[in-house]
Chain A
Amino acid sequence: MRNLSLSALGPLAALILLIGLGASLNDNFLSSANITNVLARSAFIGMIAVGMTFVITSGGLDLSVGSMAAFVAGMVILAMNALQPRLGVGLPLALVGIAVAVGVGLLAGLANGLLVTRVGIEPFIVTLGTMGIFRSLVTWLADGGTLSLDFTMREYIGPIYYGGFLGISWPIITFALVVIVGEVAMRHTRFGRYCEAIGSNEKVARYSAVKVERIRLLTYVALGLLVGLATILYVPRLGSASGSTGLLWELEAIAAVIIGGTALKGGFGRVWGTVVGVLILSLIGNILNLANLVSPYLNGAIQGVIIVLAVVLQRKKASVEGR
């Protein structure tokens, strides 16, 4: 972690402040049950946000991740329900579900990436389009209702969300691994450096023999993969998917990235900052639920204020630091 400047410490300070606030308002806040709950819920958005960090750092954007998650969940449930008579409830069927999630996520990310890099359409437009397409497809597959996983299978895969290792639940472990890999990739590999270079100035990257299209494509594919991974953990929790699954996840993921100090216009990415951003967003909801201070219905409004505030503070710091 280089340049631990004010702008890097800002989100961290806000997080610590929130934790202090939560602890003073409710005794249960620091209980291991509540902490596990907050972290496990953060894991879905968190993994997606780590992927989003790379997309945004390289100057891109992906609005489709929420719809993509719903679509992947729908496909997983359809595939598992269809194959259950043949494979029965058990590990093979669970593996099929995992393979479908990873495969569909990868293909969806590839579709976004190819439209951006090969066809050369603005990422905003491409993913605005695919956002509608994925959402509409899952609604159509569910015939306007809900796709539900067979109950016995749901029981069987329940431990993927609710179980754990050494008392830590699987979503948290997976999230932690994704974060570590993401942080290392951003700071210590060519891929991360190239993402920053492309986001900073695409022409310079091109003139420095960086394969701009390939790196860009990779960021979208990696994000698709992470959406698939998040879905694997999400399906056991609810066991269903509908047109409203994963609604507004894209905005939460993008907000977490921005709060964490990654520049929206690209060129600078901070994976651990994204994690802080995700935690800030889910802690706000958690605190509102635990304390009776403000109506939980205002969750979105408070999150919105935090997002705007984060960007304003970053801008101020940037101008103080010169230029």
Chain B
Amino acid sequence: MKILGGFLQPTSGQVLLDGAPAPWRSGPEAEVQSVVVIHQEFNLAQDLTVSENIWLGREMGGLFLDHKAMRRATQALLDQLEYQVSPDARIRDLPVSDRQMVEIAKALSRNARVLIMDEPSAVLTSHEVQILFRQIDRLRAAGVALLYTSHRLEEVSRLADRITVLRDGAVVRRALRGELTEDGMATAMVGRDLKDIFPPRRSDLGPVVLEVAALAVPPLVEGVNLSLRRGEVLGISGLVGSGRTELAEGLVGLRPHSGTIRRNGAPITIRSLAEAEGHGLAYLTEDRKERGLLLDKSLRENLTLSTLKRFGTPFLSREAEEAALGKAITDFDIRAPRRDMAAGNLSGGNQQKLLLAKTMLPEPQIVIIDEPTRGIDIGTKSQIYHFIDRLAREGRSVIVISSDMPEILGLSDRILVMRQGRVAGVLEGAAISETAVVRLVMGIRETGPSEKAAENA
């Protein structure tokens, strides 16, 4: 995708536009030819307004900017997208889903002839996805060629005229609409059958190892009680903004909290990440690029950063670090072309495996994993599910926070649902079902067939 948009040069082969070699050598040059890419990581200036961002580099007006015209044009674009946001809002103040819409509006403003979208729906709610689809249909009708990348197979089968499945950098399957079912796509992506994506359920749970009572993490989370048993996987579900991450970060000392925490029955205090580690707790962040990994540093430096004390005092042992990296690469199947490469050059899935290896290095007994598979391909997803299962079978306890419904359902022994900073309910055993979870997530008390999987996003 980066090559198509002109951001990378191919090492071999070439890109053709209208049958002739593509004349661009950079992203902006490609945009002049109306080939526009919407990146997975947004390309917006945080402190500028929506309107200023959309017209950035192509401002209207002569010596002085014609703010009025740009604002009007922006409003027209936003109206076309049926989108309620002021052209004067600053990007910094907008939620992620709104930023996505601004990106789309920006692409529309460039009269794109070829529009390349990289996981555009990853951060959108299902309502916003519906609007996005209508826009896509409208663009298609207007003769725009669209390249839509997604992990969400139902989106692909809803949208695509032609489907190409890539695995490990090579095309593994090409098909026309209707030729390939979602199961078929998944099989092609994983390279094997889908049945064993989720590991089988574990049966023997140990004693309670962690007990939390009346935990509050200001300003959002309040009155949370939970318990965790040895060898258990506890899923935490809920909408974005329901306080799941805040709860986890409070629990491991990244945020101030109040309430009682008991470890193996004894009360403990956790005021910092270091104290949490001392009690055998570890937390894997949902934001691997901004909070998890140093993208411009080597794999080794990333792996050992939080456990450097184990690698020699006062002088660090490079050999010990390399040995730890070697073990991590084998244990977590990190596929790195070169050992000394920067972590940021790994694929998303391998970054996640590295982060998992980093989190597991201090040998924690209780691991909280926030969004274990966000933005990674289905093959790696399955691998990570099996890692989590392995951790539980080794007698550790795992808390999985996830917005991915199949993931929560497929992994968890119990599911705790958060809603507006409080525990909406805990589901166990036979009570676990998608409808039950969704009902708790949305705060619906009675059964209503019309409110089906709204939280499928």
Query: What is A's interface to B at a CB cutoff of 8 Å?
Result: 3, 184, 188-190, 193-194, 196-197, 200-201, 203-211, 267-268, 322-323
Contacts and interface: CB of A to CB of B under 8 A. Distances in A.
Given A189-B316, A200-B297, A206-B273, 7 more contacts: A188-B315, A193-B301, A193-B308, A193-B316, A194-B308, A200-B296, A208-B306
B285 interface: yes
Contact of B316 (A190, A205, A209): A190
8 contacts: A193-B301, A197-B301, A200-B294, A200-B297, A204-B291, A205-B305, A206-B254, A207-B273
A189 B315 CA distance: 5
Nearest to A194: B308
Nearest to B277: A209
A204 B316 contact: no
B193 to A, nearest CB: 37
B19 interface: no
B329 interface: no
A282 B52 CA distance: 47
Contacts of A209: 272-274, 277, 306
Contacts of A210: 305-306
A207 B254 contact: yes
Contacts of B290: 201, 203-204
Contacts of A197: 294, 297, 301, 305
A2 B294 CA distance: 18
A45 B376 CA distance: 49
B309 interface: yes
B292 interface: yes
Given A201-B295, A203-B291, A209-B272, A193 B315 contact: no
B285 A207 contact: yes
Given A197-B305, A207-B254, A209-B306, A189 B272 contact: no
A196 B297 contact: yes
A201 B293 CA distance: 8
A55 B316 CA distance: 21
Interface in B268-307: 272-274, 277, 283, 285, 290-297, 301, 305-306
Contacts of B21: none
Contacts of A3: 340
A45 B211 CA distance: 57
B95 interface: no
Contacts of A323: 344-345
A201 B309 CA distance: 20
Contacts of B315: 184, 188-189
Nearest to A209: B273
A313 to B, nearest CB: 19
Nearest to B315: A188
B314 interface: yes
On chain B, which size bracket covers the interface?
20 to 34
Interface in B326-378: 340, 344-345, 358
A197 B283 CA distance: 19
Q: Which 4 A-B pairs have the closest CB atoms?
A: A208-B306, A209-B273, A208-B305, A200-B294
Which residue, of A184, A193, A268, has the highest number of chain B Cβ atoms within 10 A? A193
A281 B273 CA distance: 44
B309 A190 contact: yes
A262 to B, nearest CB: 14
B207 to A, nearest CB: 28
A204 B296 contact: no
Contact of B291 (A190, A194, A207, A322): A207
Nearest to B342: A323
A180 B139 CA distance: 63
A203 B292 CA distance: 8
Contacts of A267: 294, 296-297
B296 to A, nearest CB: 6
B314 A193 contact: no
A100 B245 CA distance: 50
Contacts of A188: 315-316
A192 to B, nearest CB: 9
Contacts of A203: 290-291
Interface centre among A197, A204, A209 (most CB of B within 10 A): A209
Nearest to A207: B291
A197 B316 CA distance: 15
Nearest to A200: B294
Contacts of B316: 188-190, 193
A172 to B, nearest CB: 26
Nearest to B358: A208
A323 B7 CA distance: 10
A268 B293 CA distance: 15
Contacts of A200: 294, 296-297
Contact of A207 (B277, B292, B296, B340): B292
A189 B321 CA distance: 13
Nearest to A189: B314
A322 B291 CA distance: 23
Contacts of B272: 209
**Which of A3, A206, A207 is most buried by chain B, counting CB atoms within 10 A of its CB?**
A207
A182 to B, nearest CB: 14
A100 B308 CA distance: 36
Nearest to B314: A189
A184 B315 CA distance: 8
B294, B296, B301, B316 — most chain A CB neighbours (10 Å): B294
Contacts of A190: 308-309, 313-314, 316
B340 to A, nearest CB: 8
Nearest to B284: A207
A282 B97 CA distance: 55
A201 B272 CA distance: 19
Nearest to B295: A201
Nearest to B344: A323
Contacts of B291: 203-204, 206-207
Nearest to B276: A209
A188 B197 CA distance: 43
Contacts of A322: 345
A201 B294 contact: yes
A322 B294 CA distance: 17
Contacts of A201: 290, 294-295
B276 to A, nearest CB: 8
A204 B355 CA distance: 11
Contacts of B295: 201
Contacts of B273: 206-209
A201 B273 CA distance: 17
A322 B295 CA distance: 13
